[in-house]
A and B are shown apart, each in its own frame.
Chain A
Amino acid sequence: MKLIIHDLTEEQLKSSGLDTLPADTYRFVNSLEIDRYCIGCFGCWLKTPGRCIITDRFQQMGELIAQVDEVVIIAKETFGSYSSSVKNVLDRSISYVEPFFEIRNGEMHHKERYIKPLMFSAVFYGADITEAEEETSRRLVQANAVNLNGTIGFVKFMESPDMVKEVLA
């Protein structure tokens, strides 16, 4: 099972053909539906471990990620970051890991809450992506994969989300 976290409108989902992907293989999280930011309270680590204290549909993002083999981000390239809405979903997903630290490859990272392999991939789209933005985005995805104790699948850049489906095929 793959989890697609995206910032596409219904119209973009249709024009890209992503809406025809089989439901038994792909689950979707539309970041445009999120409107509450992570408040940095550590509640999902210390008060209700594994679950965000904000009671909306993004409360159990950590558990949702634990149910899939691969997370695929589809986001507008935003200065080397994901768009704010996609980043918001990721910020609200930190319950996927534990607050506790461990040293991996000489660096401090969070311990896994769910002992399982996870692949992390990303597609950035946008009309005027600079080389510096590409480099930063690659570094960001790499850091995310390391901190989730996963592996990188792919990192792609394209002008329009209409071509995303070809990457997923």
Chain B
Amino acid sequence: MIYMINCSYKGRTSNSRYFLGLLEKEIKKYSDTECVVKNIKNIIVRGFDDFVEDIKGAEALVIGAPLYVDGLPAQVVKLLEMIMERCADEFPAIPVYVVSNLGFYEPQQIRPLFDIVKNWCDKIGTVYGGGIAVGAGPMVRIIQEKSLPAVLYRKVDQDFSKLAKAVEQGQAVENIYCSSAVPRGVYLKYAHKMFNKALRENK
């Protein structure tokens, strides 16, 4: 079983959940391994003991988290703290992967987030398996959901496939940085159009 955590408080509508779904879809192309997706809110608020038990039966852990203020969202740091404080000794030595997305165009801006998870893995004695960062994540999702030309997101699909193979085989990969083929200037103009529309509607 591959244990995935959707770390966005937006829950099932979040981009984090969407990109975990992409990884899940790719994993299923290679194996019948079950993927379980849990929301972080349920884990840190009331289900931590269940999480500790469930993770012992997992082959891998996948953390799906957006970039917040250049790092992990506070609720994810909280979960890492809880594991360190309460159950580091019994936490299984399984590979830990990260699926992350950000509003900025350049996926490389995610690097501190990957490093924080790696540092945590080193401290609790488990293995950092690598991560994938999706730049301009909201736009990549829109392009895929609206079935716009595949050339705009083919590289993203290829990169998710690469990570899926690694997760399924329990192997580590170098961090993967990907974004859509939409030029940065076009994305910026589109984002501003959406922001202005939302601001007008709220007046």
Given A78-B81, A87-B74, 7 other A-B residues pairs in contact with their CB atoms under 8 A: A39-B10, A79-B116, A81-B112, A87-B77, A103-B188, A132-B122, A136-B119
Q: Is B111 in contact with chain A by the CB < 8 A criterion?
A: yes
DSSP class of B's interface residues: helix, strand, loop or mixed?
Answer: helix
Contacts of B78 in A (CB 8 A): 84
- Smallest CB gap from B124: residue in A: A79
Contact A79 B202 (CB under 8 A): no
**B14 pairs with A132, CB closer than 8 A:** no
Pairs of residues from A and B, 6 with the lowest C-beta to C-beta distance, nearest first? A88-B74, A143-B70, A84-B78, A84-B77, A87-B74, A136-B115
Rounded to whole Å, the gap between the CB of A93 and the closest CB of chain B is 8
The CA-CA distance from A47 to B184 in the complex, in Å, is 26
Assess the B192–A100 pair: CB atoms within 8 A: yes
- Asked if B104 lies at the interface with its beta carbon under 8 angstroms from chain A, I say yes
- For residue B195, CB closer than 8 A to chain A, the reply is yes
- Chain A contacts of B115 at CB under 8 A? 80, 132, 135-136, 139
Question: Which residues on B are within 8 Å of A, measured CB to CB?
Answer: 8-10, 14, 66, 68-75, 77-78, 80-81, 104-106, 109, 111-112, 115-120, 122-123, 184, 188, 191-192, 195, 198-199, 202
Q: CA separation between A49 and B10, bound complex, in Å? A: 19
Partner of B74 from A41, A42, A85 at Cβ < 8 Å: A85
Verify A109–B104 contact, CB threshold 8 A: yes
- Chain A nearest CB: distance from B129 CB in Å? 16
Q: Give chain A nearest CB distance to B15 CB in angstroms.
A: 9
Which chain B positions have C-beta within 8 A of A143?
Answer: 70-71, 109, 112
Q: Compute the total of residue contacts between A and B using a CB distance below 8 Å.
A: 121
Question: Which range contains the number of A residues in contact with the other chain?
Answer: 35 or more
A119-156 to B contact mask, C-beta < 8 Å, 1/0: 00000000000101101100110011001000000000
Query: With an 8 A cutoff between CB atoms, is A45 at the interface?
Result: yes
**A103 cross-chain contacts in B, Cβ below 8 A:** 184, 188
A28 in contact (CB, < 8 A): no
Chain A residues with Cβ below 8 Å from B198 are 42, 46-47
What residues of chain A lie closer than 8 Å to B105, measured between beta carbons? 108
Render A44-68 as a binary contact track against B, CB cut-off 8 A, 1 for contact: 0111010000000000000000000
In the complex, the answer to whether B106 meets A37 with C-beta atoms within 8 Å is no
Tell me the minimal C-beta distance from B48 to chain A in angstroms.
14
Is there an interface contact between A99 and B195, defined as CB atoms closer than 8 Å? yes
